[in-house]
């Protein structure tokens, strides 16, 4: 009898508009997790996509540029920013919001039962940090997360 395939755990990255930080984290994580032998993937959403009118494409130019300098190519069918819905929260095994001061109040307003189930990072948006600084900090945080998750991964039983 063969073992059933192992379930892939899901990390949900969140920011306000799902245009810059969370999209970068999603693509960076999914590219770098391939180097590890652990069953995790990520997806991303925005907490207030429905309130933002300045997302002028599927992903910010700053994020696109940094991904390209890292050799990470955007998928041909890259989607536009997506609004967070409760089924997304239910699908996630780990939920990470990019900045506590910014996102905790949004959670409290929209998904109060989930506010304390979120891991909050401290990655500034473009109004407080230059993209090269914020994205470098995000890369460090994602690498630390991958390291943490690889240590949590249980060996498969025979």
Number of H helices, E strands in the chain: 5, 4
Distance between CA atoms of 113 and 130, rounded to whole angstroms?
33
Distance between CA atoms of 64 and 71, rounded to whole angstroms?
11
Residue 157: inside a domain: no
Q: For residues 156 and 139, which has the higher predicted lDDT (pLDDT)?
A: 139
Spatial contact of 40 and 157, defined as CB atoms under 8 Å apart: no
Residue 2: inside a domain: no
Residue 1: inside a domain: no
Residue 3: inside a domain: no
- List, for residues 17-31, the tens digit of each pLDDT value: 999 999 999 999 999
Of the listed ranges 23-27, 60-64, 151-155, the one predicted with least confidence? 151-155
Distance between CA atoms of 47 and 107, rounded to whole angstroms?
8
Residue 52: inside a domain: yes
Spatial contact of 16 and 48, defined as CB atoms under 8 Å apart: yes
Residue 18: inside a domain: yes
Q: What is the pLDDT of residue 157?
A: 42
Spatial contact of 71 and 28, defined as CB atoms under 8 Å apart: no
Residue 106's domain comprises 9-152
Residue 50: inside a domain: yes
Distance between CA atoms of 145 and 53, rounded to whole angstroms?
31
Distance between CA atoms of 39 and 87, rounded to whole angstroms?
21
Number of domains within the chain: 1
Residue 54: inside a domain: yes
Global pTM reads 0.90
Question: Which CATH number characterizes residue 129's domain?
Answer: 3.40.50.2300
Of the listed ranges 56-60, 129-133, 153-157, the one predicted with least confidence? 153-157
Torsions phi, psi for 122 (to 5 deg): -135, 60
- List, for residues 86-112, the tens digit of each pLDDT value: 999 999 999 999 999 999 999 999 999
Buried b (16+ CB within 10 A) or exposed e, 75-99: eeeeeebebbeeebbeebebbbbbb
């Amino acid at each position: 009898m063969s073992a059933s395939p192992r379930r892939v755990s899901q990390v949900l990255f969140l920011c306000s508009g799902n245009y810059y930080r969370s999209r970068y984290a999603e693509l960076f994580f999914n590219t770098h997790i391939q180097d590890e032998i652990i069953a995790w993937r990520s997806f991303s959403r925005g907490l207030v996509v429905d309130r933002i009118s300045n997302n002028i494409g599927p992903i910010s130019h700053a994020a696109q540029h940094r991904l390209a300098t890292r050799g990470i190519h955007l998928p041909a069918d890259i989607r536009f920013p997506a609004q967070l819905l409760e089924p997304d929260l239910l699908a996630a095994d780990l939920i990470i919001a990019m900045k506590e001061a910014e996102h905790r109040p949004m959670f409290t307003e929209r998904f109060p039962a989930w506010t304390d189930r979120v891991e909050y990072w401290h990655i500034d948006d473009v109004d407080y940090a230059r993209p090269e600084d914020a994205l470098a900090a995000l890369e460090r945080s994602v690498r630390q997360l991958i390291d943490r998750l690889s240590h949590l991964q249980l060996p498969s039983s025979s």
